[in-house]
Structure 1
Amino acid sequence: MRARLTLVHGGLFLLAGIVLLAVTYVLVEQRLPGAVTLSVSDMKKFTSAMPQSDLSQVNAAELRRFLERLQTDVRQNTLDSLLTQGGIALMIVSAAAIAFGWLIAGRALQPLHQITETAHRIAGADTAGRGLHERIALAGPRDEVRKLADTFDLMLERLDRSFDGQRRFVANASHELRTPLAINRSLIELAITRPGAPSEVRQLGEALLTVNERHERLIDGLLTLADSETELAERVAIDLAEVVGYVMDQATGDLAVRATRGLTVDRDLAPAAVVGDPILLERLVHNLLENAVRHNTPGTGWVSARTGVVDGRATLVVANTGPVVPGYDVETIFLPFRRLRNERLSDGQGVGGRGFGLGLSIVRAVARAHGGSVEARPRDGGGLTVTVSLPAGS
């Protein structure tokens, strides 16, 4: 925009200068006498002023032609000088006008640069409301740019209040939703462990515990998804390889009982330093591995996890065998409560049973909260390869 304004300013100045030079040229040309043929009386007046000693050497016809040529040359030289020197002066002044136009345009656009830089800082933080406390606070006269900046500040203020309300809701929901489920679990466990409890009561209690556990996992997933889309509570330097190793070691004792039995697990964990929330990163890795185990080939499948630094970014790659995933359906699995196909997730298929459709949604939300990204692509023969890329830490 600065270059365009400068070119418009310089172009208009140059056009005005050309018009002015052309008008001056025409006016001067009209004021200068044209080619006039000297008459005999004019020649007599001219020769009468000359000394008598020179008249014998003067040829009247040649003298007349000489004076006429002299008059024409003077007229043409005057017009040529006006055009040449005026053009040179116009070029010099136009160059100065373009330089001043560049400076003036830069100063005029400085408020827009301030607005743009603020918007970039806010957008660069992430999409979860971090940075919305910042304001442009543009000073100066209340012109169009000042009104734009004030409107932008008002929008930021409303968004900031909205995200603050969301964060407060997540904090309150975390307590209000988990506490009743924890009380229900305690009461059911107390009822089924009471001496002399009938078998029907115990059977009913175990069924209720299963339902309660499922609800707890659903609420925990929803709260984790909401929490990962708000401001990170903690940012520490951590090695992604250590997180993956810890989760995989825990999985051999936890997931193996219901999922990993019969699967081949492969790991290649190179150092990959990141800065972020350890709890959320652990949940990201856990969900990836759980998803890879849950949707796998029973007995003959495998899961692999690799970490490292690629192009200056910490990378985690989790691959697995399993059902064939169409390429056009890959993005579906990242949506909350969306499953690829019911038969892929239903009980008795795969090795992990049915999920809630939140695992990869949480993975993507956590990655974005850390300034990273998640991509998935189908493997030949079935399964997925999921790649998580995060900004590398020091």
Structure 2
Amino acid sequence: MSHRWTVRLRLTVLYGGLFVLAGAALLSVTYVLLGQALNRQPVSAAAVLAIAGTPSDASSVAAAPAQPVSELIRSTEVAHDLQAEFRTATLESLLQQGGLALAVVGAAGVWAAWLAAGRTLRPLAEITATARRVAGRSLHERIGMTGPHDELRRLADTFDEMLARLDAAFAAQRRFAANASHELRTPLAINRTLIEVALAHPDPSPDVRRLGETLLVVNARHERLIDGLLLLARGDQELAGPVPVDLAAVTAHVVSLVPPGPVAVNVTTSPSAVTGDPVLLERLVQNLIENAVAYNVAGGSVTVTCGPGELTVTNTGPLIAAFEIPGLFEPFQRLTDRVGSATGTGLGLSIVRAVARAHGGTVTAEPGPSGGLAVRVRLPATGRQPSG
């Protein structure tokens, strides 16, 4: 159970326990010292004479009859017994009253330790809250802690400096992606245009036509690869302007664009309101369905189910080992024995995972018992349908 205790609870137990232990030690020392003091206290002669019935003042002693020695001894023993009873009663009273006071003060001390621990750990709570917001891809957040330059202030300042460096690094990555988008797409567009112009020439030779068609296929694959890489980089970044989106409508639209073929696509949808980027969400659904169709078998099927905050795409196909599932979500990691793996870019499921993470969601996959794959995407549902 100790591993479930929070830091605040452990500090409270530590401080409160030390406080109670110090109080118990003080009570014990007081008990010992008082007991020793009472043991050193001599028996009062006046008490002995009073027990024996002899007046203690000088004028009365002269007029009073003399007491036998045995009576004085008995009176002394009685005085000793009374003193012992007084000592016992005093020490018991000390333990009872002191124990009660220790319990009350100890409870107050534990409560004070709880408050003090909370106040001490408050900066850590702020750091944790900021870290959670940063985990949600908000690198612009800063702690900005004020107060004395103690250990917690230095920790917060170090964390802010780390966030600033990460923010600058991601900004540089975004600029690089934007520049690469232009610099890489332009040559490919020029190549495609030149090849199309060459093929449009009257009566090209069969060799030239075959070469041109091959180059167009290679060029188109490179364009898809660059688009996938840029989309993957975009999916790993914070969403610029999320808006309400009906994932069910997006799914139905993507399924309607699937051309007829040997693989049947069945779709079942219900309203699924989420918040995000419509273009990225459409690409997520498109990649899932394209993968399910491409990595299938002739006469197979694809089942698409969309519900509140969840999209599941299941397909038929060859058997897939469970240990191979994690590798499918890594860039350029493909199963070479899957049908259609040679024509893809190896970025389909990587883009799906990146887009899902950018929307605060998760992606899981599991192999079917008779082959194929079931991919499930979960996104935070808002319950608010987009207008229009």
- TM-score range relative to shorter protein: 0.7 to 0.9
1:374–1:386 contact (8 Å) kept in structure 2: yes
Q: Identify the residue that residue 82 of structure 2 maps to in structure 1.
A: 70
Alignment of 1:31-180 (within 5 A): 31-33=37-39, 47=54, 49=56, 51=60, 55=65, 60=72, 62-123=74-135, 125=136, 130-180=137-187
2:246 to 232, 239, 257: 239
2:43–2:79 contact (8 Å) kept in structure 1: no
C-alpha distance in 1, partners of 2:218/2:256?
Answer: 28
C-alpha distance in 1, partners of 2:219/2:249?
Answer: 32
| Deviations, residues 199-231 of structure 1 (Å, cap 9, x unaligned) | 433332222111111111111111111111112
2:365–2:375 contact (8 Å) kept in structure 1: yes
C-alpha distance in 1, partners of 2:168/2:361?
Answer: 26
CA separation of 1:187/1:101 partners in 2, compared to 1, >3 Å: closer, same or farther? same
1:303 aligned onto 2:302: yes
1:376 aligned onto 2:365: yes
Q: Identify the residue that residue 350 of structure 1 maps to in structure 2.
A: none
Instruction: State the Cα distance separating 1:83 from its structure 2 match.
Output: 2.7
Q: Alignment partner of 1:391: what SS?
A: coil
Instruction: State the Cα distance separating 1:158 from its structure 2 match.
Output: 0.6
C-alpha distance in 1, partners of 2:155/2:49?
Answer: 79
- What percentage of residue pairs aligned between the two structures are identical? 52
Q: Identify the residue that residue 3 of structure 2 maps to in structure 1.
A: none
2:295–2:341 contact (8 Å) kept in structure 1: no
Q: Identify the residue that residue 357 of structure 1 maps to in structure 2.
A: 346
2:295–2:338 contact (8 Å) kept in structure 1: no
CA separation of 1:346/1:232 partners in 2, compared to 1, >3 Å: closer, same or farther? closer
| Deviations, residues 342-393 of structure 1 (Å, cap 9, x unaligned) | 453356xxxxxx2121111111111111111111111122211111111113
Q: Identify the residue that residue 366 of structure 1 maps to in structure 2.
A: 355
| Deviations, residues 121-156 of structure 1 (Å, cap 9, x unaligned) | 222x1xxxx211111111111111111111111111
2:34 to 28, 31, 39: 28
CA separation of 1:211/1:88 partners in 2, compared to 1, >3 Å: closer, same or farther? same
Q: Aligned pairs, how many?
A: 369
Q: Identify the residue that residue 332 of structure 2 maps to in structure 1.
A: 337
1:34–1:72 contact (8 Å) kept in structure 2: no
- Whichever residue aligns with residue 83 of structure 2, its letter is Q
1:6 aligned onto 2:12: yes
2:16–2:109 contact (8 Å) kept in structure 1: yes
Q: Identify the residue that residue 22 of structure 2 maps to in structure 1.
A: 16
- Whichever residue aligns with residue 229 of structure 1, its letter is D
CA separation of 1:148/1:346 partners in 2, compared to 1, >3 Å: closer, same or farther? closer
Q: Alignment partner of 1:267: what SS?
A: strand
CA separation of 1:68/1:55 partners in 2, compared to 1, >3 Å: closer, same or farther? farther
The farther-off stretch of 224-233 and 174-183 is 224-233
CA separation of 1:175/1:63 partners in 2, compared to 1, >3 Å: closer, same or farther? same
Q: Alignment partner of 2:146: what SS?
A: coil
1:328 aligned onto 2:323: yes
1:295–1:344 contact (8 Å) kept in structure 2: yes
The farther-off stretch of 78-87 and 142-151 is 78-87
| Deviations, residues 91-137 of structure 1 (Å, cap 9, x unaligned) | 222222222222222211111111111112222x1xxxx21111111
1:339–1:345 contact (8 Å) kept in structure 2: no
| Deviations, residues 157-194 of structure 1 (Å, cap 9, x unaligned) | 11111111111111111111111111111111112213
| Deviations, residues 301-350 of structure 1 (Å, cap 9, x unaligned) | 112211112xxxx1111111111111221222111111112453356xxx
Instruction: State the Cα distance separating 1:70 from its structure 2 match.
Output: 2.4
Q: Identify the residue that residue 210 of structure 1 maps to in structure 2.
A: 217
Q: Alignment partner of 2:339: what SS?
A: helix
2:35–2:91 contact (8 Å) kept in structure 1: yes
2:247–2:273 contact (8 Å) kept in structure 1: yes
2:228 to 221, 224, 237: 221
Instruction: State the Cα distance separating 1:78 from its structure 2 match.
Output: 2.5
TM-score, normalization by structure 1: 0.86
C-alpha distance in 1, partners of 2:140/2:155?
Answer: 18
Gaps of 5+ in 2: 1-6
1:35–1:68 contact (8 Å) kept in structure 2: no
- Whichever residue aligns with residue 162 of structure 2, its letter is M
